[in-house]
């Protein structure tokens, strides 16, 4: 399983992206790095992160992991969906309150 883990979040590399340097990350971690403007691979420091696109998705590995690690792939997919929903909710609350700030977080008790 370690061979198929994202080197950032250490869980299975859901929708695995192989960078030009050969290192593997899950698409979610890669997108976070790109949004933050981080261009260097966290392992080898090659300037390849911002060059990654849909062609960097390793489809063969993705199919392999779905076949051999279905439980882990489904859990990672659910985790990603929860994280995306949380980000969208935060953006909506921030827009409603005139912009995000620490005091504007929605808390349900």
pLDDT string in tens for the chain (109-residue length): 788 999 999 999 999 999 999 999 999 999 999 999 999 999 999 999 999 999 999 999 999 999 999 999 999 999 999 998 998 887 776 666 665 554 445 445 4
Per-residue pLDDT of 56-76, as tens digits, reads 999 999 999 999 999 999 999
Distance separating alpha carbons of residues 65 and 73, to the nearest angstrom: 7
Which helix H or strand E contains 16, and what residues bound it?
A: strand 16-18
* Residue 102 structure tokens: 């620490």
For residue 94, the model assigns a pLDDT of 64
- Its pTM stands at 0.76
Q: Which of 12, 6, 25 is nearest to 64 (CA)?
A: 12
- What 3-state DSSP class applies to 47? strand
* Residue 74 structure tokens: 């489904």
């Amino acid at each position: 399983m370690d061979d198929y883990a994202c080197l950032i979040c250490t869980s299975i590399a859901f929708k695995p992206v192989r960078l030009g340097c050969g290192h593997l990350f899950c698409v979610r971690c890669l997108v976070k790095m790109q949004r933050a403007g981080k261009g260097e691979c966290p392992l080898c420091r090659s300037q390849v992160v911002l060059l990654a696109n849909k062609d960097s998705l390793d489809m063969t590995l993705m199919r392999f992991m779905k076949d051999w690690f279905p439980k882990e792939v489904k859990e990672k997919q659910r985790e990603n969906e929860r994280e995306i929903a949380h980000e969208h909710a935060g953006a909506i609350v921030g827009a409603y309150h005139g912009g995000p700030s620490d005091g504007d977080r929605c808390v349900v008790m």
